[in-house]
Structure formats: structure tokens, C-alpha cells
Structure 1
Amino acid sequence: MRDYLNAKEKNQFMVLQSVVQMMDGLRNSGVDGPRMSSILEDWSKRGNITKEEHKNLKTAETFLRKFLASVYNRLSPKEQEVIKKRLVKFDFKLVDDYTLKQLERDIKDKLKNAVMPREQFYSWCSEIMAVKCNGCTKDWNTCDLYDVFEDNYVPESGFDCKNCKFAYHLDEVEPNE
């Protein structure tokens, strides 16, 4: 047996551990939720669980806990620490298909379009302009940067160069010797 989990096994372990934490009432968006014992009591009060179903659910909980403890105990101390740290940040949610598709669209959009604070964007633009626009003589119609700057409201250079409103000419300053 290995003393570590690969990425897929680790995610599966996290899901199962999260289920146990839900059974303990620890996973409901940061609010203590119902414990397995209270769920079983509630279902029993309403007469919506047989003795056999009750026993099966308790047995499943017991064996799930035994499985997780066994796997965790055979892992190296380093891997156990990784699991502990990841578990604090790990959560899974049941979502309907509409919500899932919306999340997937959001993720796809974020992968396609970078989003950053405007101040940071302008800072990056200044650095790019220092390399590409200082001394540039290209016609603005053939410049890929022109469209990006224009579409994102980057201020003009103010140099009134005939070829492009973002172009400018600054002489390099020689360092004092």
C-alpha cells in the first residue's frame, strides 16, 4: 500500500470526509447543520424510516468512518498534514443543473477574459507602452495594442503623434557617471 494519495484519490477522500462532517453537523455553509442522529430522530418521528433503513444508514456511517480512519492512519505524516490543510478549504455542494451550467459559464468566461482592477491594468499598460509605444512609428490601423487600449479606455499619450494616439517619443536618460 502507498502512504500517499494521488490527486483523484485525494479528491474522493475529501468528498467522503465532507460527508462525514455533514453527518456531524459541521458542513452547512459555515452554519452547524443537522447531525445524523437528529436526522434519524426526525425521520423516525415522522414515521418515514423503517428499522432496517435506520440500521443500514447507521451501518453505512460506521463503515465510512472506519474506512476513512484506516486510510488516514496508513498515510505518511506529511500526507496527513496535506489532507488536514486541504480539508479545511474543501467543500462540495449539491447544485441543480441550471446553477452548475451558470458556474461553468462563469469559469469559461474567466478563462477567456482576464479580470483585474483598473489601477493594476493601467500599470501594466504603462509598462507595455514603455516597450512598444515609446518611439513607435507603426500606423495605428496595423497595431493589435491599439484595439486593446481603445476598447479598455486607456488614456492617450498626449504626444499627438500622427501615426497613433498612444505613441510617444521620450529620449532615454543617460545615467549620471
Structure 2
Amino acid sequence: MRDYLNSNEKNQFMVLQSIVQMMDGLRNSGVNGPKISSMLEDWTKRDNMTKAEHKNLKTSETFLRKFLASVYERLNSKEQDVIKKKLVKFDFKLIDDYTLKQIDRDIKDKITNAVLPRQQFYDWSSEIMAVKCNGCTQEWNTCQLHQVFDDNLVPESGFDCKNCKFAYTTGE
């Protein structure tokens, strides 16, 4: 047996560990929630669980805990520390299809479009202009940067060059 988990196995382990934490009432968006024991009591009290279902759920909880403890104990201490740190930041949620599509759309948008603070964009634009626009004689309508700068409200150079409002020449 290996004393580490690959990334897929780690994710699977953390999902199962999160389920146990939910059973303990610890994973409800930071609010302690119902424990498996109270669920078993409530469902049984409302006569919404047979004795066999009660036994099966309780048994599944016991065996899940045994599995997780066994796997965790055979891992080396470094791997255990990695899992502890990741588990604190790990969570999963049940969401409806509409919300999932929104999240996917947002992710695709962030992959397609970079988002950064305006000042940082201006700073980078200045660095790019120092390389590309200083001494440039290219016409504005053939320059890829011109449209990007114009669309993103980058201030003009102020040099009034005939070819482009971002072009300039220093005395160097």
C-alpha cells in the first residue's frame, strides 16, 4: 500500500471526510447544523424511517468513519498534514442547474477576459507604452494596442503625434 494519495484520491477522500463532518453537524456554511444522530431521532420519531433504514444509515456512518480512519492512519505524516490543510479549505455544495450554469458562465468569462484593478492596468499600460509607443511611427488604425488602450480609457500620451494619440518620443 502507498503512504500517499494522488490528487484524485485526495479529492475523493476529502468529499467523504466532508460528509462525515456534515454528519457531525460541522459543514453547513459555517453554521453548526443537524447531526446524523438528531436526523435519525427526528425521522424515526416522525415514523419516516424503518428499523432497517435506521440500521443501514447508522452502519454506513460507522463503516465510513472506519474507512477514513484506516486510510488516514496509513498515510505518512507529511501527507496527513497536506490533507488537514486542504480539508479546512475544502467544501462542496449541492446547487441547482441554473446556478451551476451561472458559475460555469462566470468561469468561462474569467478565462476569456482578464480582470484587474484599474491602477494596475494603467501601470502595465505605461510599461507597454514605454516599449511599443515610444518612438512609434505606426498608424493608429493598424495598431492592436491602440484599440485596447482606447477601449479601456488609457490616457493619451499628450505628445500630439500625428500617427497615434498614444505615440510619443523622448529625447533619448
- Shorter-chain TM-score bucket reads over 0.9
Letter in 2 for 1:45: K
Measure how far apart 1:171 and its partner are. 2.4
Matched, 1:35 2:73: no
Could you list the per-position Cα deviations for residues 9-33 of structure 1 after superposition, in whole angstroms to 9, with x for gaps in the alignment? 0100010000000000000000001
Q: Does 1:52 align with 2:58?
A: no
Report what 1:91 is aligned to.
Answer: 91
Structure 2 distance, partners of 1:107, 1:137, is: 39
- Runs of 4+ with >6 A deviation: none
Q: Within 1, Cα distance between the matches of 2:53 and 2:119? A: 59
| Corresponding residue for residue 72 of structure 1 | 72
AA partner of residue 17 (structure 1)? Q
Q: Percent same amino acid at aligned positions?
A: 79
RMSD between aligned alpha carbons? Answer: 0.6
Distance in 1 separating the partners of 2:112 and 2:39 = 44
What are the within-5 Å matches in structure 2 for residues 60-139 of structure 1? 60-139=60-139
TM-score, structure 2 normalization:
0.98
How many residue pairs match? The answer is 172
**Counterparts of 1:159 and 1:59, CA distance in 2:** 78
Name the CA distance, whole Å, in 2 between partners of 1:8 and 1:81. Answer: 17
1:24 and 2:21 equivalent?
no
**Residues 1:12 and 2:12 are matched in the alignment:** yes
- Uncovered stretches (5+) of structure 2, i.e. residues with no partner: none
In the alignment, the residues of structure 2 paired with residue 40 and residue 155 of structure 1 have an alpha-carbon distance, to the nearest angstrom, of 65
AA aligned to 2:147 is D
1:175 — aligned with what? none
Q: Deviations over 1:92-124 (max 9, x none)?
A: 001111111110110010011000110111111
In 2, Cα distance between equivalents of 1:150 and 1:42: 63
For residue 156 of structure 2, what is the aligned residue in structure 1? Answer: 156
How many Å separate the matches in 1 of 2:131 and 2:171? 13
Deviations 1:57-76 (A, max 9, x none): 00000000000000001001
- Distance (whole Å) between structure 2 residues aligned to residue 46 and residue 135 of structure 1: 81
Does residue 1:171 correspond to 2:171, yes or no? Answer: yes
